[in-house]
Amino acid sequence: MISRARKSRRALRGTAWAVGGWEAACAAVLAGTVGAGPAVNDVPGSGRSCCGGASAAMLRVGLAPTPPAATSPSASDGTSIKPRGMVWIPGGEFSMGSTDRLARADEGPVHRVRVDGFWMDATEVTNAQFRAFVEATGYVTTAERPVDWEEIKKQLPSGTPKPPDEVLKPGAVVFTPPARPVPLDNPSAWWTWTAGANWRHPGGPGTTIEGRDQEPVVQVSWDDAVAYCRWAGKRLPTEAEWEFAARGGLDRKVNVWGDEPVSPERANTWQGRFPDANTRQDGYAGAAPVGRFPPNGYGLYDMAGNVWEWCADAYRDDAYARRVGAAGPGVLIVNPAGPESSRDPRNPDAPVSRVHRGGSYLCNDSYCASYRPSARMAAPPDNTMQHLGFRCVMSDRESRTGPVAPSRVPGDEQKGKP
């Protein structure tokens, strides 16, 4: 267990990472200055993320054929054991990763993976569901905890000036679209550190989730998501489980619906010119209520776009290469649980980064192709963002006996328990 001050320092460092992904960008946001961090993965086909990764053009979306319905398990007496709000994902094999023209280096090499069957929430966890957790437990999220400058500056470049006191309050980064076109190499032009931003006020003071019960909860850290999962008797999906489920039975396809390009009818992404002009052809400027877009082949909603989703795994940019190297070329890898250590070139000083998947309403074909099922992104476990949420899973065994805790890696800390 670590002090609340250190937790808060890591939380602010994490949210600042979302602005640019580097210590320099973190310092710029904290100090209220504007400056781009060094280019990361800035090569053709490397891709970008609306949170600050590197970018490539996106495909447009279309319909996908629906695979045969999955048969869910039954109890020994033959009765259904379907957990409420969850969908049974049948076990099977698939090709994990991608070599398509939009793929980044961390999506390869493509390798064959088999996962056991599991239950998955049909939708992202909603504001109403998260509120029930908080009211039942008194849990305080990462973005609501106090901040300590003496601790924060230990993670910043020497000589970083102390920001104004109003910045050193609990808060998070908020998407603030500029009034005019801006260069796309400086995410701090559209992300702003905002005191008072948290899951109850995702856009900062003056915003509310009242009347938005069915929207996905955001501004929650990996630690917050794990706490909710434990309370609900579930867990976060592994990265392999998430990708298998997102594909909906369609192997080696670019998108969760197949190879057809994106359209406003298929996923909640950004239409228009990113980040200053959203034409809202899909009907939404931000997150949409869950389930408003067609489900994939397994009956899961919003596996592409809407909000990013935390996974259990630690992130390594070379995770797939190490996995294939350890198993051998062509070897089927069964139920991979993620690496034992973390390495994230976008945030090299963070002891741990955790995977998130699926892209968000900020994905646009001028900047971010991360709504693809193979696309990977990561952040420190105490990072919170306005477009990042989660959904839960459990195996058939866990539905009877309780979930297995996600693996911890050096640098992880046990957060406040519910």
Q: Give counts: helices (H), strands (E), the chain.
A: 8, 14
* 312-344 pLDDT tens trace: 999 999 999 999 999 998 999 999 999 999 999
What number is the average pLDDT over the span 28-53?
Answer: 39
Three-state DSSP class for residue 28: helix
Q: Could you tell me which of 314, 307, 312 has the C-alpha nearest to residue 385?
A: 307
Check if the beta carbon of residue 88 is closer than 8 Å to that of residue 117.
Answer: yes
DSSP 8-state class, residue 100: S
* 280-322 pLDDT tens trace: 999 999 999 999 999 999 999 999 999 999 999 999 999 999 9
Assign 97 a pLDDT band (cuts: 50, 70, 90). Answer: very high
Assign 245 a pLDDT band (cuts: 50, 70, 90). Answer: very high
CB environment 184-211: b (16+ within 10 A), e (fewer)? bbbbbbbbbbbbbbbbbbbbbeebebee
For residues 42, 382, 130, 336, the Cα torsion angle rounded to the nearest 10 degrees is 70
Dist. CA 106–CA 85, nearest whole Å: 32
The mean-pLDDT minimum among 27-41, 184-198, 290-304, 317-331 falls in 27-41
Q: Is the pLDDT of residue 171 over 70?
A: yes
CB environment 30-64: b (16+ within 10 A), e (fewer)? bbeeeebbeebbeeebbbbbbbbbbbbebbebeeb
Q: Which two tokens stand for residue 378?
A: 């990561």
DSSP 8-state class, residue 333: E
Structural domains of the chain, with CATH:
1-69+87-418 (3.90.1580.10)
Q: Is the pLDDT of residue 32 over 80?
A: no
Q: Is the pLDDT of residue 5 over 60?
A: no
pTM over 0.95: no
What number is the average pLDDT over the span 389-417?
Answer: 71
The mean-pLDDT minimum among 94-108, 162-176, 201-215, 288-302 falls in 162-176
Dist. CA 153–CA 158, nearest whole Å: 8
Q: Which two tokens stand for residue 34?
A: 């504007």
Q: Which two tokens stand for residue 203?
A: 């856009």
